[in-house]
Chain A
Amino acid sequence: MTALLEIRDLHASVGDKPILKGINLTINAGEVHAIMGPNGSGKSTMSYVLAGRDGYEVTGGDILMNGESMLEMEPDERARAGMFLAFQYPVELPGVGGMSFLRAAVNARRVEAGEEEIDQLGFVKIVREKAKLLGISDDMLKRAVNVGFSGGEKKRYEILQMALLEPTMAVLDETDSGLDVDALRIVSEGVNVLRDPARAMLVITHYQRLLDHIVPDYVHILAGGKIRKSGGKELALEVEESGYAGIDDAA
Chain B
Amino acid sequence: MPGSMMQPDLSGVTATGGTRAAALARWQDNGWPGPRVEAWRYTSLAKLSDLEIAPVASLAGSASGPGMAAATGIAAHVIRFENGVVDPAGLTGLPGGVTIGDLGSDEAATARLAELAPKGHPVSDLSLAVMNGGLVIDVEGTVETPLMLLFEGDDRAASAHPAILVRLAAGAKLQLAEWHQSSVGLSAPLIGHDIGAGARLEQVKVQAEGAETTHLAATGVALAAGASIHGFSLSTGGSLARLETHVTMQGEEADCQLSAIYMGRGSQHQDITTFMDHAVANCTSNQIIRGVLDDTARGVYQGKVHVAPDAQKTDGQQMSRALLLSRKAEADAKPELEIYADDVICAHGATVGELDATQLFYLTSRGIPYEIARSMLIEAFLIDTIETIENETLAGLLRPVAEAWLAGGEAS
Which of B365, B367, B376 touches A96 (beta carbons < 8 Å)? B376
Report chain B residues within 8 Å CB of A78. 365
Q: By the criterion CB–CB under 8 Å, are A101 and B376 in contact?
A: yes
Cα A74 to Cα B381 in complex, Å, equals 24
User: Chain B contacts of A52 at CB under 8 A?
Assistant: 365
B372 in complex: contacting residue of A54, A104, A161, A165, CB < 8 Å = A104
Contact B381 A76 (CB under 8 A): no
Q: Which of B358, B368, B373 has the most CB of A within 10 A?
A: B368
Write out the residue numbers on chain A whose beta carbons fall within 8 Å of the beta carbon of B365.
51-53, 75-76, 78-79, 84-85, 87
Q: Which residues of B contact A84 (CB under 8 A)?
A: 365
Asked if B357 lies at the interface with its beta carbon under 8 angstroms from chain A, I say yes
Within 8 A of B (CB), among A125-170: 144, 161, 165
Residues of B contacting A74 in the complex (Cβ-Cβ under 8 angstroms):
364, 370
Q: Taking the nearest CB of chain B, how far is it from the CB of A126, in angstroms? A: 16
Nearest-Cβ distance from residue B189 to partner chain A, whole angstroms = 32
Check A75 against B377 for contact (C-beta < 8 Å): no
Interface of B (DSSP majority class) = helix
Q: Is the CB of A79 within 8 A of B366?
A: yes
Bound-complex Cα distance A90 to B367 (A): 16
Interface centre among A52, A87, A96, A100 (most CB of B within 10 A): A96
Interface residue B363 (Cβ < 8 Å from any Cβ of A): yes
Q: Find out whether the CB atom of B361 lies under 8 angstroms from the CB atom of A108.
A: no
CB <8 Å contact, B358 and A104: no
B340 on the A face (CB < 8 A): no
Q: In whole angstroms, how far apart are the Cα atoms of A192 and B369 in the complex? A: 29
Return chain B residues, CB-CB under 8 Å to A100.
376
- A54 near B357: Cβ-Cβ < 8 Å: yes
Chain B interface size range: 20 to 34
Contact with A along B172-212 (1 / 0, CB 8 A): 00000000000000000000000000000000000000000
Contact A93 B359 (CB under 8 A): yes
**Closest residue of chain B to A104, judged by CB?**
B368
Cβ–Cβ contact A108 & B376, under 8 A: no
- For A112, list chain B residues within 8 Å (CB): 367
Q: How far is the CA of A144 from the CA of B383 in the complex (A)?
A: 12
Q: Are A75 and B364 in contact (CB under 8 A)?
A: yes
Contacts of B376 in A (CB 8 A): 93, 96, 100-101, 104
A91 and B362 contact, CB distance less than 8 A: yes
A116 vs B358: C-alpha distance in the bound complex, in angstroms?
A: 30
A94's partner among B367, B372, B380 (CB-CB below 8 A) is: B380
The docked-state distance in angstroms from the alpha carbon of A11 to that of B75 is 63
A80 to B384, CA, bound (A): 31
Q: List, in ascending order, chain B residues with CB within 8 A of A80's CB.
A: 367
Query: Contacts of B377 on A, CB cut-off 8 Å?
Result: 93, 96
Nearest neighbor of B381 in chain A, beta-carbon distance: A95
Task: Name the distance in Å between A171's Cβ and chain B's nearest Cβ.
Answer: 10
Centre residue among B363, B366, B373 by max chain A CB count within 10 A = B366
Given A53-B361, A75-B364, A93-B363, do A108 and B369 touch, yes or no (CB 8 Å)?
A: yes
Please name 18 further chain A to chain B contacts, defined as beta carbons within 8 Å, in addition to the given A94-B380, A104-B372, sorted by A numbering: A51-B365, A76-B364, A76-B368, A78-B365, A79-B364, A87-B365, A91-B362, A93-B376, A93-B377, A95-B382, A96-B376, A104-B366, A104-B368, A105-B366, A105-B368, A108-B368, A144-B380, A165-B366
Q: List 29 A-B contacts (CB under 8 A).
A: A51-B361, A52-B365, A75-B364, A75-B365, A76-B366, A76-B368, A76-B369, A79-B365, A79-B367, A79-B368, A84-B365, A87-B362, A87-B365, A90-B362, A91-B358, A94-B380, A95-B379, A95-B381, A96-B379, A100-B376, A101-B363, A101-B366, A104-B366, A104-B368, A105-B367, A105-B368, A108-B369, A112-B367, A165-B367
5 closest A-B pairs by beta carbon, nearest first, are A95-B380, A79-B367, A91-B362, A105-B366, A76-B364
